[in-house]
Structure 1
Amino acid sequence: MSSKFAVRACLVCLLLLPAASYANGPYPREATSQGVTGARIVIPLTDGWRFRQGEGTSRAEGLTFDDHAWASVSLPHSWNRVGLYQPQVPSRINTPEVINKAMGLGWYRLSFTSPARLAGKRVWLEFDAASRIASVWLNGKLLGEHQGGYSRFRFDATDALRTDGPNILAVRTDNSRPAPGSSTVDVLPLSGDFFVPGGLYRPVRIVVTNNVHVDMLDSGGPGTYATTRSIEGGSAVVDTEARVANGAKAASTVRVRARLIDAQGTVVASQDQLEAIAPGGMVTVKNSLRVDKARLWQAVDDPYLYRFVLDVLKPDGEVIDSVEQPFGIRTIEISPTRGFLLNGKPYAIRGVGYHQDREDKGWAISRADVEGDIKLLREMGATSIRLTHYQHSQYIHELADQYGLILWDEIPLVSQWTFGEAEVATEKLRANARQQMTELIRQNQNHASVAVWGIANEVDFGNSLPAFLTGFKGAGPDPLPLLAELNQYAKTLDPTRPTALATCCEGRLFAADVTVPITAPAADVGGANRYFGWYFGEPGDLPGHLDLLRSQRPSQPLSVTEYGAGGALSVHTDNVLGGMVDSRGRAQPEEYESYVHEQTWPLLSRRSDLWGTWLWAAFDFASTVRHEGDADDINTKGLIAFDHKTRKDAYYFYMANWTSTPMVYVTGRRYANRAYAVTDVRVYSNARRTTLTVNGNALPTLTDCPQRVCVWTGIQLQSGANEILARGEFSSGSQEDRIFWQVAPEALRSTRIDSGAMVAARAAAGVFGSDNFFQGGKPGSVVKPADFGKPAQPTQIAGTADSEIAATYREGEFRYRIPVSNGKYRVTLTFIEPSDKSVRVFDVLAGGRVAIGRFDPAKSGAAANAAVIRSFVTPVRDGLLDLWFKPRSGQAIVSAIQVERVDH
């Protein structure tokens, strides 16, 4: 069922009037029904809940338990708030005072009266999800326990329900961190680069049916299913299946009718048949519906939906039960040579990875929240979403059907499936994996948007598995037996869709003692999570790597399921190539995230051998293993911030490339206070012609910018405010974007460069920019970089008040061509010697003349982490200060450059 299309079932939706608890006040009023005979009654249980977090709650499931002191909450609800941007982030919502990362028990209690006229009815409690284990009592009777935090589940509450007074519903949720001996030791996921909040974070409701009904215990699914068998000559054949249960003590004969109804309300196909059902029995009814002149579901181009209605009727025609769902007639094929085929034609999968949490709510989100996300992604031009790394709500599946987005669904088998030195998964964990696979497929297989069933994510680390995930020591357990089991099991549940698997590690360059299992063949179609330019290599390495994977399995369809980089809203760089990548630390500028996407997408877009691509990720999300960029407990690779509103620059890069919507966007608006008075201006524009004016001065028009990235280089800014205005010319008119940059007066008088730094460090005096204006050389640092859970370890450097600036350097043979006005300048250089084994002698030339000759930093006192500072005066006559660091032996080196005019 779903909140919009769900159950025609839902002919009557009643708001229950709950009280705080039986022990705390008067009985609530009875929820009354004015429904049609035979219709389901659906009663949302939203308000009036009492909640308490933590251990030590004894007998809270009992009727007379006093919950007066508990907090009053409404559903959806979670006690967790995780993820904190640093104070300088303007869009920050969470503050340290609201953060709650506690994992464990959370108790919920609700008092309600039952609806009237329940004779001969069945009463069900339906939970859209509860994290991660839920134990449910009604009036002190344990109805059951559900293990798994992402899927819908139901309990039969008929025998426990009181019709003569208030009912007490008690739910104990448990999101304890999985560990040996914990309650969740055999409940997936065991680990992952995301936080798992607790609570009743999706809706809960009562559903009342007749004794004869479409099966309510079919693993949370609708109990009735439809599949497009074929499309030929404009006609389609749709196979249907329904499970009809008889909860009565007498046999029953019913008519089961399957129908497809178009958007205008016309029945386009119908089949029905009589069935006899034994007391307490179940029948499975199969039919085929032929639809002439079928209008196909064509994804975003035309996401046309029929209504699939399954009616259970008495022989005289009275409706006993009815379930309705949207249904799109379509076929999907994934080919290793032709890619993704929708209704027999190639279709471009331009996707994003998606986590369901947001800064202000965690997982307790609404349908409106999800629809807002989808609108943002469609505005960007995305045609697909990978629902990572667990089962997502019915909301997003319904909305994907309506908006025409292709979905990759997957279960939460992520990175780990054993503890300690165990080589194989326990039988309980294997059973939990099968259960979650069953629920994923049963609950979502009617959705036209769902293309594949993901059986796992990144279970191929081998003995390179990060200790932050598992702490496993040794060669690593073999994932292939579990993957083989899940692959085959998924096919028994739904043979019409392929299985999929996302890998991390095959073909990467590791140390000699690292071995990784080859897992990709365990599923029908493959996906590669590859972060070239971020965790390893360069963006340009990706094509060769994909060629290697294709050569290994030419008959298996291949996709790229994750790529990207971190992007901090308040961290910026003047040159993305100026320093080393800081993938685990704080120096993660927004501009570098854009650079990785600018470099990677052109490489992917040119490949015809990929059936899809999904960037990582749509939104920033909570992950307590991360302290990076300008955030704690947040993965900052999103194109949109954790508030699900603030769009980073890279978002607009894809909008320019993925849509025909006229747009022009100036990057770098959050880097408002500029370190240098001369800079490049980058504009994302899908206009044929794009113009730029700076402080009213027009610059040359650029035409058909490559990859929709227009760049004006060496733009001179003025002291104070600078207006940057870009305009794109379209057939429908012009579009423009305007930003303002500030330049301090001292930036026109002096240039300070933090050599080897992608993000400039703070200085004791003056403002340094990140490494810029260089040609050649490589960046380096004496700082031990950050790792998961471990901050960077700085090295104290003597002889300077600016140890952080001196700690980075540029090395090799290189030149700096620094734009300055003509005049006389004092150049001050800071040097260190990062290695006690290095032998280097070099000259520093200014304007072609030797300014510092035969310089050896170690012999000049730079050894043992000490800085040496040298300065000289040089004229500049052509508007460019040319500093050439020219080795005589070994490599030249410099840590900081300061250029100040002295003839004013």
Structure 2
Amino acid sequence: MAGPESGAQDASSQRQTIALTEGWQFNLIGPYDDQGNLAALQPDNWEAVSIPHTWNRVGYYRSDPETHVNTPDNVDKTQGVGYYYARFAAPQLVGGERLFLEFDAVSRTAELWLNDTRIGENRNPFGRFRIDVTDQIRSGQANDLYVKVDNTQPALGNSTADVLPMTGDFFVRGGIYRPARLVVTQPVHFDMLDHGGSGVYAATTSLSGDRATISVSGRISNSTDSAAPVTVVASLLDDAGRVVGSWQQDTSVPAGETAELEGEFDVASPHLWNGVADPYLHTLRFELQGSDGTVIDSIDQDFGIREMKLDPERGFLLNGRPYQLRGAGFHQDTEASDWAVSREEIDESLRILLDMGANSIRLSHYQHGSPVHELADRYGIVLWDEIGLVTAWTNARDQVDAPAGIVENARQQLRDLVHQNYNHASVAVWGIANEVDFGPGRPDFLGRPPEVIADPMPLLNNLAALSRELDPTRAVVIANCCEERGMEEVPIVANAVDAVGVNRYFGWYYGEPDQLGDHLDALRAKHPDKPLSVSEFGAGGSANMHTDNPLGGPVEKAGRTQPEEYQTWFHEENWRELAGRDYLWGIWPWNAFDFGTTVRAEGDAQDINTKGLVTYDREIRKDAFYFYRANWSDRPTVHIQGRRYVDRAYPVTDVRVNSNAPSTTLIVNGMALDTMDDCDLNVCVWSDVELAEGKNEIVARGRFAGETVEDAIEWRLDEGQADTFRIDSGTVLAAEAPVQFGSDDFFVGGTAGSTDQPGGWGRDPIPAEIADTDRRGVVASFRQGDFSYRIPAASGRYRVTLTFVEPDQPSGARLFDVAANGRTVLSSYDVAARAGGTLSAVSESFDVEVPGDMLELEFSPVAGEAIVSSVEVVPAE
């Protein structure tokens, strides 16, 4: 079952590594029953699999399923137990070598048997673990390995009750979802049982002038029955292989024990690791030499010389200079492979974010694997690492304190995280928790809040102290949700850490985007000594849902109505608040990619969080992606928004272009329109652009120094839409009807409303029964208040039809006038009286002459509020 590494020596060591990739069999037992019993293995249920592997497949798009991997028929959200079995040939051990089983991650828990002997377990779903199997292995023979894997949802008293995360807006998959291997070492070796780490560590502890100081340490294990005299040599090599700094020390490791050595060395005129601009990497080489000078173990790792600090005034400092971190949150799943992602898939994801202009990633909400850290080192991407402590830290409704098992699991995850990623230049901070400060206001999708509100501070203080003990060179951080949000009994978790990230959704779950800046300033004033960042902000955006005006009606934060254009508007307006606040040490929109979760039924997706700037399959970079690219990247960017909204509803529309060009020109059907310079937020807007019947070629051309960059798309306008405006009032997504309507647009003032009861969090909306209409979906929504429509109709004569539905007011309670270009056409109009009651549609039509390319319809209240459900403007015959 050996993979491509079979029998190979590590590139820089005396170790032998054998990949355990092929030849596995898998048997999914499934959930425990109500009594906690587990079904027996079924002999006929084994299937051949390769590692990495997960038995789960989560989330699918409801639209165009033929273009996607996931469908309702192949998703699998089973939580429970699966067994893996492999028979493998072990190498011949002839000189006292040690043999280790190494798994990069198994979720949630792993229990292992080798040759009918239980050899151990692991209860961290996200970290690497190793087991010394030298005494159980059949050297040079076939061996039988069973791995019991359990991803049962944690609950009091069950098999995973103490395994974080307890809950969260993502799904914890089951499986051996990262690579596994055998590793053979010499009897004396760098410690293989150091919390999954390499056993050797280095950090830049001083950087001044033309000199850097590197501290180093190494743990040496001696499995022999006599003391082992050894020499440890640590060297730093530049990219030409020249040694630029070194340290060595002699020691004698007692029999059966592990010794730790520490030292430091200086590097003159160091070439620094400087983020995406210059991610220069040295090679850090640790050698373990025997008494005769023979190298008996060695480890090579990439290492960047750099200094990272956080300052409450200047933000993030890289090598002494302000360097604001910009990127996105990142979950590890893809539609193609779910959690069993390959290094190539991870590389693709990182390249997409680099193309956006990101220089940082927040690795959410758990420890990610080695590939993303190694690639981040090489690309210069600064990382926020964190453990799986998310939202909840108890599993019974009456628990006030975190149970001891959960505390220890959190500490294990933190120890594993730090030991396994300590040497990576890319890692800037250690995150100890995400959104554990809801207090009693926990979100609906997480279920009922507990009977008592547990205090997270003892656990957070415990973890913060452990983090500083493990690594005093990196800041301890937390992402909070709720401080200064007007919620009661919110713990101030910022007090536990060195620096803070805030997850804030103004304009999505609450408030408006223009409230974000003042909110951040208030937090900064409250905690002047705590460097502040924005660790999450985002909105759902479905690439197959489109609106003519993102403010035309309500979006559904937990429902189906999530057009892509609203997501774009949200990010534009939030960035307006963030762009000038240089004290923020980092800004991470949520999320880089759509990801799988089993608590959402939103947009055009099921079990997918649609806040990604890129789709789950990595195929569509949404318009918001290009907004950030135009603002964050130095690469020439010209991108026309709305390219997936092809069949247009209106003959006149705004054209919005993301451009970082000094000047940008729009060409519509071969005719050049105005050239724009220095567009606000690098979004150039051409208003009231006229479309022709049929195909329309839209070209945006940006002129940069030495080159011209252009983007071209095609929009279509059907014959029935030419010179016609059919407006579905009060909605951001036009309803289907016998003729095409557009979403609410061209309005000034008023508010949107609906006769229907909204859905959300998996609940479908409840539609109202509306009489006297074949356009129920159109007339169910409305605009009300004191408002007008300014419709850019070409000069000519039009028939205007207004449709009304009274949602709840009796006759006489709502009276209003309607005027067309200043002429009153309806006076003291009473919808309920005219329709004979509530929830019945009634229409009024009139002709109007439009002399100057603008039709203004004014709706003026006489009593109560004016209202309209749809507006139709068509050329008069």
TM-score, normalisation: structure 1: 0.93
Q: For the residues of structure 2 that align with 1:66 and 1:463, how far apart are their CA atoms?
A: 45
In the other structure, the counterpart of 1:818 is: 791
Q: Distance in 2 between matches of 1:522 and 1:604?
A: 25
* Per-residue CA distance 1:800-840 (angstroms, 9 max, x = gap): 22222222111111111112233332222122233348932
Distance 2:574 2:330 in 1: 19
Hey, what's the Cα distance between the residues in 1 that align with 2:849 and 2:452? 62
Q: 2:805 aligns with which of 821, 832, 848?
A: 832
| Structural mapping, 1:544-583, within 5 Å | 544-583=518-557
**Structure 1 partner of 2:265:** 289
Would you say the 8 A contact 1:76–1:201 is kept in 2? yes
Counterpart of 1:437 in 2: which secondary structure?
helix
The 3-state SS of whatever aligns with 1:679 is strand
Q: Distance in 2 between matches of 1:561 and 1:226?
A: 28
Q: Does residue 579 of structure 2 align to residue 605 of structure 1?
A: yes
Of 562-571 and 806-815, deviating more is 806-815
2:27 to 48, 52, 63: 52
Answer with 93-102 or 573-582: which moved more.
93-102
Residues in 2 aligned to 1:862 and 1:745: alpha-carbon distance in whole angstroms = 36
Whether the 8 Å CA contact 1:822–1:877 is kept in 2: the answer is yes
Deviation at 1:788, TM superposition (A): 1.7
Change (3 A) 1:38 1:503: closer
1:825-904 alignment to 2 at 5 Å? 825-836=798-809, 839-861=813-835, 863-903=837-877
Instruction: Report if the CA contact (8 A) 2:400-2:452 is conserved.
Output: no
CA contact (8 A) 1:462 1:475 kept: no
Deviations 1:439-485 (A, max 9, x none): 00110111111111001001111111023214224452211111111
Question: Which residue pairs with 1:62 in the alignment?
Answer: none
Identify if the C-alpha distance between structure 1 residues 883 and 325 changes in structure 2 by more than 3 Å, giving closer, same or farther.
same
CA distance in 1, matches of 2:659, 2:7: 58
Q: Secondary structure at the match of 1:624?
A: coil
Give the letter aligned to residue 823 of structure 1: G
SS at match of 1:154: strand
SS at match of 1:722: strand
Consecutive unaligned residues of structure 2, counting only runs of 5 or more, are 33-40
Q: 2:614 aligns to what?
A: 640
Question: Is the 1:454–1:501 contact (alpha carbons within 8 Å) kept by the matching residues of 2?
Answer: yes
Whether 1:478 aligns to 2:452 is: no
Paired residue for 1:792? Answer: 765
- Aligned to 2:722, the other structure's residue is in SS state helix
| Cα pair 2:83 2:149 within 8 Å, conserved | yes
Question: For the Cα contact (< 8 Å) 2:663–2:675, is it kept in 1?
Answer: yes
Structure 2 CA distance for aligned equivalents of residues 483 and 531 of structure 1: 24
Q: Indicate whether 1:434 and 2:411 are aligned.
A: yes
* Structure 1 segment 652-663 matched on structure 2, within 5 A: 652-663=626-637
Matched, 1:770 2:747: no
1:238 maps to 214
Report what 2:297 is aligned to.
321
Counterpart code for 2:654: D
Residue 422 of structure 1 pairs with residue 395 of structure 2: no
2:748 & 2:628 partners in 1: Cα distance? 30
Residue 126 of structure 1 is matched in structure 2 by 102
Aligned in 2, Cα 1:731/1:677: closer, same or farther, shift over 3 Å?
A: same
- Cα deviation, residue 15, structure 1: 4.2
1:432 maps to a residue whose letter is N
SS across alignment from 1:461: coil
Q: Percent identity?
A: 48
Amino acid at match of 1:196: V
**d(CA) in 1 for partners of 2:675 and 2:46?**
65
Distance, in Å, in 2 between the alignment partners of 1:508 and 1:861 is 44
Q: 1:456 aligns with which of 410, 418, 433?
A: 433
Q: Map of 1:204-353 to 2, 5 A cutoff?
A: 204-353=180-329
- SS of the equivalent of 1:746 reads helix
Tell me how far 1:17 sits from its aligned partner.
9.4
Q: Which residue of 1 aligns with 2:36?
A: none
Is the contact between residue 38 and residue 210 of structure 1 (CA under 8 Å) also seen in structure 2? no
Confirm or deny: 8 A CA contact 1:91 1:646 kept in the other structure: no
Residues of 1 paired with 2:439 and 2:249: CA distance? 54
Match of 1:490 among 445, 462, 467: 467
Q: 2:17 aligns with which of 42, 45, 63?
A: 42
Partner Cα distance (1:319, 1:798) in 2: 87
Matched, 1:802 2:757: no
Q: Which residue of 2 aligns with 1:401?
A: 377
Q: Secondary structure in 2 aligned to 1:758? A: coil
User: How far did 1:172 drift?
Assistant: 1.1
Q: 1:491 to 1:879 in 2, by over 3 A?
A: same
Amino acid paired to 1:893: I
How far is 1:90 from its partner?
Answer: 7.3
Give the equivalent residue in structure 1 for 2:517.
543
AA aligned opposite 1:746: G
Question: Cα distance, 1:704 vs. partner?
Answer: 1.7
What's the offset of the Cα at 1:872?
A: 2.2
CA contact (8 A) 2:638 2:709 kept: yes
Deviations 1:274-315 (A, max 9, x none): 111111111110111111111111111111111111111111
| SS class of match (2:144) | strand
Deviations 1:252-285 (A, max 9, x none): 1111111111111111122212111111111110
Alignment of 1:681-696 (within 5 A): 681-696=655-670
Q: Is the 8 A contact 1:578 1:772 kept in 2?
A: yes
Q: Report how far residue 487 of structure 1 moved.
A: 1.0
Q: Distance in 1 between matches of 2:11 and 2:665?
A: 65
Contact 2:178–2:340 (8 Å) recurs in 1: yes
Q: Determine the C-alpha separation between the residues in 1 that align with 2:12 and 2:838.
A: 88
2:734 paired residue among 757, 760, 765: 760
Question: What SS does the corresponding residue of 1:239 show, helix, strand or coil?
Answer: strand
Q: CA contact under 8 A between 1:106 and 1:172: conserved in structure 2?
A: yes
Q: Secondary structure at the match of 1:462?
A: coil
Q: What CA distance in whole angstroms lies between the structure 1 residues aligned with 2:784 and 2:479?
A: 39
Corresponding letter in the other structure for 1:51 = F
Whether contact under 8 Å (2:310, 2:585) holds in the other structure is: yes
**What does 1:109-148 correspond to in 2, within 5 Å?**
109-148=85-124
Q: Does 1:500 align with 2:477?
A: yes
3-state SS, counterpart of residue 412 of structure 2: helix
Whether 1:736 and 2:713 are equivalent positions in the alignment is no
Q: Distance in 2 between matches of 1:37 and 1:498?
A: 32
The counterpart of 1:593, out of the listed 567, 570, 573, is 567
Deviations 1:178-205 (A, max 9, x none): 1223211110001110111110110000
Report the TM-score when normalising by structure 2. 0.96
Secondary structure in 1 matching 2:597: strand
What's the secondary structure of 2:765's corresponding residue? coil
The answer as to 2:643 corresponding to 1:666 is no
SS in 1 for 2:313: coil
SS in structure 2 opposite 1:340?
strand
- 1:38: Cα distance to partner? 7.7
Q: CA deviation at 1:32?
A: 5.6
Q: Which secondary structure does the structure 1 equivalent of 2:525 belong to?
A: helix
Paired residue for 2:175, among 186, 199, 214? 199
Deviates more, 1:375-384 or 1:849-858: 849-858
Moved more, 527-536 or 859-868: 859-868
Aligned length: 867
Q: CA deviation at 1:860?
A: 3.0
Structure 2 SS opposite 1:468: helix
Q: Decide whether the 8 Å contact of 1:531 with 1:563 is kept in 2.
A: yes
Q: C-alpha deviations, 1:559-610, integer Å up to 9, x for none? A: 1011111110110000011111211111111111111111111221101221
CA RMSD across the alignment: 2.0
Q: Show CA shifts across 1:208-238 (max 9, x none).
A: 0111111111100111110111012211111
Q: In structure 2, what is the Cα distance between the partners aligned to 1:411 and 1:139?
A: 34
Counterparts of 2:12 and 2:871, CA distance in 1: 84
Residues in 2 aligned to 1:591 and 1:628: alpha-carbon distance in whole angstroms: 15
